[in-house]
Amino acid sequence: GQNIDQPTEMTATEGAIVQINCTYQTSGFNGLFWYQQHAGEAPTFLSYNVLDGLEETGRFSSFLSRSDSYGYLLLQELQMKDSASYLCAVMDSNYQLIWGAGTKLIIKP
Amino acid sequence: GAVVSQHPSRVICKSGTSVKIECRSLDFQATTMFWYRQFPKQSLMLMATSNEGSKATYEQGVEKDKFLINHASLTLSTLTVTSAHPEDSSFYICSAKRGPDTEAFFGQGTRLTVV
């Protein structure tokens, strides 16, 4: 079966850096996505990796290693507003998104 | 970025009635739209995939006669929850894609409460 693994919860301090890992087992691969979801709201798109390497967008960066079926989301200079759930999703060979359960990120002052 | 508008954002209905939720792509044509359900503290659960002009493809365990999906145009898909019951209370989210290998953009979500 298809599976996405990411930590259930992480805690970090304001101003620090946190890395959220994601490993996957899917039928084919057409990209790894990260979404941010605040409680009670719909997810918002953060990043998309289809080639190996690091993609940087402001304070957020996303990394992909296809040979390891692994990626991560790196959040720098954490702010209180970054407290949210972060969803990892992989697009399979049918171009369907397979979702992880999400990582709840708690930011402490 | 692309904008997907979902309406209504919140709805309360009586048990036994039907509720329609709209999902519109405002500034792009969506070849494919997805409907998700999300229970508290859980990830998104795909209910169905709809392509414009064709019947929706439902995931296993989702009752197609209860959750009616219509994708009449490239910018509009609707989800109708028929004969709603309290256990249908949930957060329903739609997403839309321009093409098969593009990212999905989400609507704001609809909080459905059946009383």
For B7-19, write each residue's pLDDT tens digit.
999 999 999 999 9
Residue A82 confidence (pLDDT) above 80: yes
Separation between Cα atoms, residue B91 and residue B6, nearest integer Å = 12
CB contact under 8 Å between A97 and B91, yes or no, is: no
Inter-chain contact B107–A42, Cβ cutoff 8 Å? yes
**Which residues on chain A are in Cβ contact (under 8 Å) with B93?**
42-43
Name the average pLDDT for chain A.
93
**Residue B103 C-alpha from the chain's centroid:** 17
Checking if the pLDDT of B1 tops 70, the result is: no
Closest residue on chain A to B5 (Cα):
A42
- Are B103 and A40 inside 8 Å of each other by CB? no
Secondary structure element (H or E) that encloses residue A69, with its range: none
Q: B1 and A95 in contact by Cβ < 8 A?
A: no
Cβ pair A87:B43 closer than 8 A: yes
Residues 6+ apart with CB under 8 A from B108: A41, A42, B5, B6, B9
Q: Give the minimum alpha-carbon distance from B93 to chain A in angstroms, rounded to a whole number.
A: 7
- Percent share of chain A, pLDDT over 90: 74
Which range is most confident: A13-17, A36-40, B30-34?
A13-17
> Per-residue confidence at B53, pLDDT binned at 50, 70, 90?
confident
Residue with tokens 């953060």: A46
Q: Which A residues 48-87 touch B at CB under 8 Å?
A: 48, 87
DSSP conformation letters of B14-61: -TT--EEEEEEESSS--SEEEEEEE-TTS--EEEEEEETTSPPEEPTT
**pLDDT, mean of residues A57-84:** 96
pLDDT at A39 over 90: no
Please report, as a single letter, which amino acid is at residue B37.
R
Give yes or no for residue A92 having a pLDDT over 90: no
> pLDDT, tens digit, for every residue of B61-88?
999 999 999 988 889 999 999 999 999 9
Q: What percent of chain A has pLDDT over 70?
A: 100
Q: Is the pLDDT score of A97 beyond 90?
A: no
Q: Where do we find the tokens 């850096």? A: A17
Nearest to A101 among B42, B106, B108 (CB): B42
Structure tokens at B7: 């309406």
Give residue A86's pLDDT: 96
* pLDDT over 90 (residue A43): no
Residue among B39, B94, B50 at smallest CA distance from B72: B50
Rounded to whole angstroms, the Cα distance separating A101 from A99 reads 6
Give the H or E element holding residue A15: none
Mean pLDDT value across chain B? 90
C-alpha distance across the termini of chain B, in Å: 37
